[in-house]
Structure 1
């Protein structure tokens, strides 16, 4: 029996016209490098959308986000860890918002890393919801910057996969699994 939807990210398609279509679906495209990731989360669309729409909560599950400050209903200021301990900052504007379906954004002019993208929420039947992120970005310093970011595990393709996995853990279990020892565990060991 065939599944009604393919939950693989559009950027994984071997058909180049589908990949090009993914970039065209972004409302105000900024960037030349395309990243796409999808994950199926066993929660209803409205819960996932509501959690995602609270951008200030991103540091709770996005490893490289230092902070997101809301300026108004559609504009936010982002601070993200960059390669070598640097911080990259920009303002972003929500360009499309369809409750329980999708959120799209584009960086404001003058961003350190021009970027844009969209996150879509689709029903997956009894399995929950398919969350798909499609991101366009221009790495600082071009291809060399992209290679450096990859070396330091700060490249958006790597981060998107990890962040969606952590979002899934948070939404399904209420916590994010980690192998890092917590301050509490260290205190208990010292006692």
Structure 2
């Protein structure tokens, strides 16, 4: 289990609403290929894994309190069993403290975790980067990058 926090200069309600629409997560989470809603509590996740693999699972919201937190867990049979919680805490004039806490069971146990780290796809590393991108997107409307985003590449090729 690991947790990461970032302070974002935006109101709690705005950040919570953006995150709660799980399809939005692919806009700033680098490894997300797609998240599609099954219903108001369940979603299907498709995620890039080390070695060019793609893993999939269904997740269910296990608990939530509007503008405070969302907790989830993967359903039985997930390629990568995981659970976690995202907390949103009002930080007054500084905005909102967003904390992600994630627990996962890496494929191939410890060996899988070491390989994932080597390929920079280990969830603790990824969570830190994803939260930084979420902060950039929410505060500026874009994510600073030295490479083309998928959208920029499509616009360039059009």
TM over 0.5: yes
Structure 2 residue aligned with 1:183: 153
Displacement after TM superposition at 1:183 (Å) = 3.2
1:109 paired with 2:76, answer: yes
Stretches (4+) displaced over 4 A: 184-187
Displacement after TM superposition at 1:152 (Å) = 0.9
Q: Report the count of equivalent residues.
A: 154
Displacement after TM superposition at 1:184 (Å) = 7.6
* Equivalent of residue 119 in structure 1, options 61, 82, 86: 86
Which structure 2 residues correspond to residues 1-191 of structure 1 after superposition, within 5 A?
34-181=1-148, 182-183=152-153
Displacement after TM superposition at 1:172 (Å) = 0.3
Which TM-score applies when normalising by structure 2?
0.94
User: Residues 113-155 of structure 1: CA distance to partner in whole angstroms, max 9, x if unpaired?
Assistant: 1110100000111100000000000000000000111111110
Displacement after TM superposition at 1:73 (Å) = 0.4
Q: Which has the larger radius of gyration?
A: 1
Classify the secondary structure of the residue corresponding to 2:89: strand
Classify the secondary structure of the residue corresponding to 2:127: helix
Which TM-score applies when normalising by structure 1?
0.78
Structure 2 runs not aligned, ≥5 long:
none
Classify the secondary structure of the residue corresponding to 1:159: helix
Structure 1 runs not aligned, ≥5 long:
1-33
Classify the secondary structure of the residue corresponding to 2:45: strand
- 2:63 and 2:130 mapped to 1: Cα distance? 22
